[in-house]
Amino acid sequence: MNINWTAFIVFLLFFLFVTVLGFYSSRWRKGNLDLLDEWGLGGRRFGTIITWFLLGGDLYTAYTFIAVPASMYGKGAIGFFAVPYTILIYPLVFIVMPRLWSVAKKHGYITAADFVRGRFESDTLALTVAITGILATMPYIALQLVGMQAVLDAMGFTGTGFMHDLPLIIAFLVLALYTFNSGLRAPAAIAIVKDLMIYITVIAAVIYIPYKLGGFGPIFDAAAAKHKAAVLLGPKTYAPYATLALGSALALFLYPHSLIGIFSSSSRNVIKRNSALLPAYSFVLGIIALLGFMAIAAGITTKDGNAAIPELFLRMFPDWFSGFAFAAIGVGALVPAAIMSIAAANLFSRSIYKVYFNKQATEKQESSAAKWVSLVVKIGALLFIFLMNTQDAINLQLLGGIWILQTLPAIIVGLYTKWLNRWAMVLGWLVGMVYGTYMAASTGYGNQFKLPFGLSGDTTVYSGLYALVLNFIVAIVLTFIFRALGVSNGKDETVSEDYHFDIPEDQPVSNNIGHGRHV
């Protein structure tokens, strides 16, 4: 190993700082961490600023910082789809998510699966939402390790075997401990530091790197020379690009780690304000994507696209600033990984442990189960990386997007109508999951798929949307059949007023709200 000690020392100092902050955050807005509402949702007391940092730190991850520019570096403009999809999502969030927050606040729901159970009186349908959320989250956590590993490799930790993996293991053991100790408060506090570091890094990069490379003209010329027509989308790529952006937008706030930012907010207005403010991150994401073209112009040559941006920083910046940028990326791995593990743990504790293993579980037992599951989830993510190659983890994450889309009928449609039958949605979910997985596997885990028998001609469309359409068709047809047969759709414990429930922002939020099924 040939360690860049200057970069590593700067990286280590910031890592130690966020570690101390992670443990200390258990005292921040102190609550009873033996309650799942407090440990897993921060007591639902996060205002506009904290929610903005939390969602920004959660949605724009270390893998985003590495993978989006890597896609631009390796494939050209198609990698830019991440920018429009993060713009498309926020109008949807503005309209839909205040309804979810209201009904969750009124009835003490911790997860989307809780809402589905209450809306349709169905443990089975709630279980499908919980299982899908956990399955989709696990490889997503693993990919944060890919981002962390990329910067560790860039600093010279390129040994083999255990010594190569040791820094990563230590980092995630520390993460596991302060998440166990502090719950959602830890990543919420650290997200503030992470986002400030990311903004500083991006601002420096967008000013200094083009200056050293002679401006954006030479940067785009170099990208065009490498990718030729791929720098501009051609007609054949319009449908794949647009449907991938649309499908990704629909999926984003179905992920448990995205919804946790909704459930932990203190009011409906907090969510609406963040829907207006979060596109600022999309602007930053656009700049981050262009780092891939900058790496081409800087003459970075690597077979591993994930290494392109760390190598670009090392070449363009002094070692001390490279260490700062690597710390930003590294902390950017810890924040979403913590939130994702907490979200998965909440799902397990509420929809699996309490329903199938301990129906009489106390609130303390619920919280304890979630804490231990959050550790298991992180260990599972480490095993993903150590026992599988990186491409397998990426493939599973691509599948995760297809899978999580299949919960849209139960969660999003369920917020507006109870017309779809609960058993029809279970079977629609099953068909969507199976066919979506088949489409992904049959295309080498690509995102695009042609309909069989030439029904779509030469046009390919995002596989997740195909699976979702099939899911809806099955659910709608079976709903008509089940209604004709008189199959019950369960008792709805919510009423229309619940979807507009709010607490005045000048009213203190009680620590006792939301610990049971009803207030």
pLDDT of the residue at 518: 31
Q: Which residues contact 57 (CB under 8 A, 6 or more apart)?
A: 187, 190, 191, 194, 195, 332, 335, 336, 339
Model confidence pLDDT, tens digit, residues 200-212: 998 999 999 999 9
pLDDT of the residue at 308: 87
Residue 25 DSSP one-character state: G
SS3 46: strand
Domain boundaries, the chain: 9-401
pLDDT of the residue at 433: 94
Q: pTM for the full model?
A: 0.88
pLDDT of the residue at 512: 35
Sequential pLDDT tens for the chain (519 residues): 688 889 889 999 998 888 888 888 767 667 778 888 888 888 888 888 899 888 887 888 777 788 888 888 888 887 788 888 888 899 999 999 999 999 999 999 999 999 999 999 999 999 999 999 998 888 888 888 878 888 888 888 776 766 667 777 888 788 888 888 888 888 888 888 888 898 899 899 999 999 999 999 999 888 888 877 667 777 777 788 888 888 888 998 999 999 999 999 989 999 999 999 988 888 888 888 899 999 999 998 887 777 888 899 999 999 999 999 999 888 888 888 889 999 999 999 998 999 999 988 888 899 999 999 998 888 887 877 777 666 565 666 778 889 999 999 999 999 999 999 999 999 999 999 999 888 888 876 666 666 554 545 567 788 888 899 999 999 999 999 999 999 999 899 999 999 998 876 555 444 333 333 333
- Phi first, then psi: give them for residue 473, nearest 5 degrees: -60, -45
Name the residue among 503, 102, 32 with its Cα closest to residue 263.
102
Name the residue among 334, 335, 324, 272 with its Cα closest to residue 53.
335
The amino acid that residue 367 corresponds to is S
**Segment holding 180, helix H or strand E:** helix 161-182
- Residues, the chain: 519
The amino acid that residue 161 corresponds to is G
pLDDT of the residue at 336: 87
pLDDT of the residue at 452: 54
SS3 461: strand
Name the residue among 464, 468, 466 with its Cα closest to residue 445.
464
Model confidence pLDDT, tens digit, residues 248-288: 889 989 999 999 999 999 899 999 999 999 888 888 888 88
pLDDT of the residue at 33: 80
Name the residue among 175, 195, 196 with its Cα closest to residue 186.
175
CB 184 within 8 A of CB 264: yes
What is the CATH superfamily name and number for domain 9-401? Sodium/glucose cotransporter (1.20.1730.10)
SS3 15: helix
Angle, CA 438 vertex, CA 437 and CA 444 arms, to 5°: 90
Angle, CA 261 vertex, CA 260 and CA 266 arms, to 5°: 110
pLDDT of the residue at 154: 85
Q: Detail the DSSP E strand segments found in 378-464.
A: 448-449, 461-462
Write down the number of H helices and E strands in the chain.
Answer: 21, 2
pLDDT of the residue at 517: 36
pLDDT of the residue at 511: 38
Cα separation, 460 vs 398, whole angstroms: 16
